[in-house]
Amino acid sequence: MSRADDREFHEFVEQRMERWRRSAYLLCSDWHTADDLVSMAITKLYRHWRAVRHADNPDAYAQKVLTRTWLDERRRPWRRERAAETLPDQPEAAVERVHDRTSLAALLASLGPRQRAVLILRFYFDYSAEQTAEILGISVGTVKSQTSRGLSALRA
C-alpha cells in the first residue's frame, strides 16, 4: 500500500471512528470490548483496503466487517460467558416497553447477538431490510422476522 493509500485509509477511519465505536458498543455493551472490535475491524479493512475503497458503498462494507467481527467473536466460547456475583434465582423478565435508555439497554441485552445487530442496523443506522440482510449475510425474511420483536416493543 502506498503512502497515498495510507493517508486515504487514515482519513477514512478517522471520519468514521466515533460511528464505529458507538455501533460496536451497542452490539457488545462494553466500551473496552467495543474498542477491541473496532481494532479488529480496522485491521481487516486495512488488509482489504482496495476492495473497501472500490466498493459501491464503503460505509456499508465497513459496517459489514464490524458487525461480522462481532458475530464471529460472539461465537467464541469465552465471549459467551458473563460474569455475575450471584446466580439469578428467577428468569429475566422480558422487556415489554422501551421508553428510556435503561429499558433499551435491557431490551438489547435480552436479545441474541444477531437479533441485536438487526435492531441496531435498522433503527439506529436506518439501513433497509435488504441492506441489513446483506451486511449480516442472512435473508431479508429473517431480518423482518427478527425486527418484529423490536417493533412490538415500540408499540407496547
Partner 1 sequence: MNKQLFDELVEDAPPSTVDVAGIVGRERRRRFGLRLTGIAAGLAAVGVVAGLVVQNPATSPSPPAAVAGGFRLVSDTDASVEQTARRLEQALDEALRATAPDARWRRLFKHTAADGEPPMINGKAAADVAQQVYSGSQGVETGDRRGMLRFLISSPTPCTPGAVVQCEDASSMAEYWANYFTCAANQPVCAVGTLPDGRRTKAVSTGANRHRASVELPDKRVLAVEVSNRFALNKPLDPDGAPLTLDQTEAVARSVAGRILP
DSSP letter for each residue of 81-93: ----SS--SSPPP
| Other C-beta atoms lying within 10 Å of the C-beta of residue 30 | 12
Q: How many CA atoms lie within 13 A of 123 on its CB side?
A: 19
Among 27, 65, 66, 119, binds partner 1 (CB under 8 A): 119
Among 55, 60, 71, 104, binds partner 1 (CB under 8 A): 104
List all residues 6 or more positions away from 129 whose beta carbon is below 8 Å from its beta carbon: 122, 140, 143, 144, 147
SS3 for 17-66, per residue? HHHHHHHHHHHHCCHHHHHHHHHHHHHHHHHCHHHHHCCCCHHHHHHHHH
* Binding of residue 109 to partner 1 (CB under 8 A): no
* Binding of residue 128 to partner 1 (CB under 8 A): no
CA gap 45, 66 in Å, rounded:
9
* Binding of residue 110 to partner 1 (CB under 8 A): no
* Binding of residue 62 to partner 1 (CB under 8 A): no
* Binding of residue 51 to partner 1 (CB under 8 A): no
* Binding of residue 54 to partner 1 (CB under 8 A): no
Among 4, 8, 42, 127, binds partner 1 (CB under 8 A): 42
What is the per-residue binding string for partner 1 in 2-31, x denoting contact by CB under 8 A? ----x--xx--xx--xx--xx--xx---xx
Contacting positions for partner 1 (CB under 8 A): 1, 6, 9-10, 13-14, 17-18, 21-22, 25-26, 30-33, 35-36, 38-40, 42-43, 46-47, 98, 100-101, 104-105, 107, 119-120, 123-124, 150, 153-154
